[in-house]
Amino acid sequence: MEEKIIRSLGIDLSPGFASISYMEEKGSVPVSMSICADDEKYMIPMLLYKKENTGEWLAGDEAGFAAENGRPENLADRIDLLFQQQEVKYIEGKEYSGETLLQEYIRILFRKARERIGFTTVNHIIVTSDSPDIRLKHLVSGLFQTLGFAKEKIHVKTHTETYVSYVLCNKREIWANDVTLFRMDENEFICQNITKRRVKNGLVIFVEEENLTGRISYNMLKTKSGREQADDILLSYLQEDYKTHIVSCVFFTGIGFYDNWYRKSAAEICRRRKAFKGMNLFADGAAVSIQDEEYKDILILCEGKTLLNIGILIEKEGNEEEFSMLRAGQSWTESHNSQELIVDDISHVSLVISSPFQEERQLIEVDFDEFPQRRDKTMCIEVGLGYVNEKSFEITISDKGFGPFFASSGKKIRKRISCLLYTSDAADE
């Protein structure tokens, strides 16, 4: 079999459905794919079905069809909610956790993608969801490591991150001014707007979010009069917004925009702007997000990205220097680092925290005076930093001993620090 390598595979886990996109090589256009006979159906329902008296699972539409013609009780519906709410499903007398079901669902999607695309190797796996937590990160990482992927090739990102990535992969004329995304699912209607600010070192991108659920709901779209009312409300919102807001492009996504109920609003948008609708925007954005590292002059600050620069003070050649550990603008799920240090007459680590928008630095001292007392320069410690969620990070200080002379005591100091204490409001000015 001839080897086929693709650069990235993006899997979007949206409420109630998933979608898949891939990118064959650097700089290519993301390609959406279907896992069913209908090549134009990209939305994969969050369904799993266990075939009777076998260990085989079916996913998506195949699961739904099997349940209609088999045992409905063997169907697990909305497995994303089962995972989020940490609930279980009983099938054939056996208990399955939401975590187990979601893992199996993603496994099937990956297998189907490999069969349909025909790749032998994929360099990066990117899973995106609305607000991924540490549980989803561990689930995705654990699953794909068992499938042979190195940890650094597995990525978990927010929808906001992948939205920004998708916009940046387009021609600059698309994001010459602000870019707006309207996203509607069964539960909420969200407007996200990309804005930019020039700074001396390049460009900073922000994403401002407004919840419009109180104005337009998914239920309104179930009747003709409701759809007409929703279109009028959206049109009014756009007309008011465009009085003070310069937008070059608008995107629509989510099941709420599956039908074209917003004709008048779209006409208003298209007078001076470009407009696009895509049910697979986040999957496409996930597939291209691996290229974010190429935008060296752009700092992206949005949901899912870290907001602080964090370093530690070290002594080098008699001078005190800051050693950078974590940078602002990284995905929090991937923002971690560690460094071994030789201790000389101190019993604390000095963290240096700063915002990209402020010159002043703040110091935090984390003591490790519980460690055994040893002569200067005969103690080695490891300082580890990593985010546990979007709003807090953790420092871990470990006693590493000192080679063959002193064994490690096994002691560790662990402290969680809230980013909110050090995040400046300057970004909102």
Q: Span 296-324, mean pLDDT?
A: 88
The phi and psi torsions of 70 (rounded to 5 degrees) equal: -130, -120
How would you classify the pairing of strands 274-277 and 247-253?
parallel
pLDDT band per the 50, 70, 90 thresholds, residue 35? confident
Angle at 80 between CA 76 and CA 84, to 5 degrees: 120
Q: Token pair of 239, please?
A: 């007309």
pLDDT band per the 50, 70, 90 thresholds, residue 38? low
Q: Span 304-312, mean pLDDT?
A: 94
Q: Token pair of 258, please?
A: 């599956």
180/171 Cα distance (integer angstroms): 16
Contact in structure between 369 and 346 (CB atoms under 8 Å) = no
Which of 157-161, 300-304, 315-319 has the weakest average pLDDT?
315-319
Tokens 């796996």 label which residue?
A: 125
Tokens 């923002």 label which residue?
A: 335
Contact in structure between 25 and 136 (CB atoms under 8 Å) = no
Contact in structure between 58 and 71 (CB atoms under 8 Å) = no
Q: Which residue has the higher pLDDT, 424 or 219?
A: 219
Helix (H) or strand (E) holding 263: helix 263-270
Tokens 């279907």 label which residue?
A: 34
Tell me the pLDDT of the chain averaged across its residues.
Answer: 91
Contact in structure between 133 and 389 (CB atoms under 8 Å) = yes
pLDDT band per the 50, 70, 90 thresholds, residue 397? very high
pLDDT at 59 over 90: yes
pTM of the predicted model, to two decimals? 0.90
Q: Which has the closest alpha carbon to 165: 294, 306, 346?
A: 294
In the prediction, which pLDDT does 428 show? 38
In the prediction, which pLDDT does 254 show? 92
Which residues neighbour 403 within 8 Å (Cβ) at sequence distance 6 or greater?
A: 380
In the prediction, which pLDDT does 429 show? 34
132/143 Cα distance (integer angstroms): 16
Chain region(s) in the chain for CATH 3.30.420.40: 5-156
Its CATH architecture, for the domain 5-156, is: 2-Layer Sandwich (3.30)
pLDDT band per the 50, 70, 90 thresholds, residue 369? confident
Complete DSSP assignment for 309-345: EEEEEEEETTEEEEEEEE-TTSBGGG-EEEEEEEE-S
pLDDT at 42 over 70: yes
pLDDT at 95 over 60: yes
Contact in structure between 42 and 19 (CB atoms under 8 Å) = yes
pLDDT band per the 50, 70, 90 thresholds, residue 303? very high
In the prediction, which pLDDT does 78 show? 95
The top-level CATH class assigned to 309-428 is mainly beta
Contact in structure between 255 and 263 (CB atoms under 8 Å) = no
Q: Span 124-128, mean pLDDT?
A: 97
Contact in structure between 130 and 14 (CB atoms under 8 Å) = yes
Q: Which has the closest alpha carbon to 174: 203, 204, 194?
A: 194
Q: Which has the closest alpha carbon to 43: 316, 283, 210, 247?
A: 283
57/80 Cα distance (integer angstroms): 16
Say what the alpha-carbon torsion angle 301, 302, 305, 309 is, to the nearest 10 degrees.
Answer: 30
* 168 SS3 class: helix
Please state which of the four CATH numbers 3.30.1360, 3.30.70, 3.30.530, 3.30.420 is assigned to the domain occupying 162-301: 3.30.420
Chain region(s) in the chain for CATH 2.60.34: 309-428
Q: Which has the closest alpha carbon to 75: 198, 331, 96, 179?
A: 96
| Cα distance between the two ends of the chain | 57
Best mean pLDDT range from 253-262, 355-364, 400-409: 253-262
287/162 Cα distance (integer angstroms): 8
pLDDT band per the 50, 70, 90 thresholds, residue 426? very low
Strands (DSSP E) along 54-97, which ranges? 57-59, 75-77, 88-91, 94-97
pLDDT band per the 50, 70, 90 thresholds, residue 424? low
Task: Return the amino acid letter for 349.
Answer: V
Give 235-284 pLDDT, tens digit per residue. Answer: 999 999 999 989 999 999 999 998 899 999 999 999 889 999 988 999 99
Percentage of residues in the chain having pLDDT higher than 90: 72
CA distances from 371 to 327, 368, 406, 414 (A): 29, 6, 12, 13
Largest separation between any pair of C-alpha atoms in the chain: 81
